[in-house]
Amino acid sequence: MPALTLERLLAGLGFGSRKDARGLVRMGLVELNGDVLEDPFMEFAERPETITVNGEEIPTVEKLYVMLHKPTDVECSHNARDHKSVYELLPDRFTAMGIQSVGRLDADSEGLLLLSNQGDFIHRVESPKKGLLKRYRVTLARPFTEAQKAELLKGVMLKDERRPVLAHEISEERIVVDGAEVDSVVISIGEGLYHQVRRMFAAVGNHVVTLSREAIGPVELDTTLGKGGWRFLTEEEVAKLS
């Protein structure tokens, strides 16, 4: 295995090619433990936990596991057409490192979004075979009835799907939105089909007004994250999803 050099470390962290990395070093923009590093070819006996680039302390992790509180009017696409891209909320170097969203939330939805550059992790979390339930909170245009609840728990047919999809769990809660109390429905599903939650409520004669994803499996949205905020998943959270 090639020695870990400074230029190789910086390139692996998304700071461009090795040539780009050498340029950063030669401009005096790279520091370690308060010391400016001048040799892009210096070798590390051990990988440092952090390195400072252009005044920002950067964790040296190359495997990205990220939690983001997605706002509305943001698209889960690198080539967003009608809104800002969710990747604009993250450091540019993450895109260079190959980060992708784990499933998607449409532009009108908000809440928990996971992102990673590890394909096996993305596949496991997205796969229905993993059995990770996704929990959403919605507000509806019309009162939610017991008959609608029963239909969703039994399973409904959606256009272009081969078999019924069902809600695994449903509960109702009264919440405060913009200072007013409103009824909300919390629904857990096992798949991640296109606009699935919205289509399920439409299939029983209702209409989703707002939708927020609160959890994927055992990992819940960090309520300390403001909309648009992100953090790395903890090792424990990654393990729970793997």
User: Active-site residue numbers?
Assistant: 106
| Residue 8 burial by Cβ neighbours in a 10 Å radius (0-12, 13-18, 19+) | middle
User: Which element (helix H / strand E) includes 23?
Assistant: helix 18-26
Contact in structure between 189 and 167 (CB atoms under 8 Å): yes
Reference 105, options 124, 85, 120, 79; nearest CA is 85
Residue 36 contacts residue 26 (beta carbons within 8 Å): no
Burial 151-165 (b: 16+ CB within 10 A, else e): bbeeebebeeeeeeb
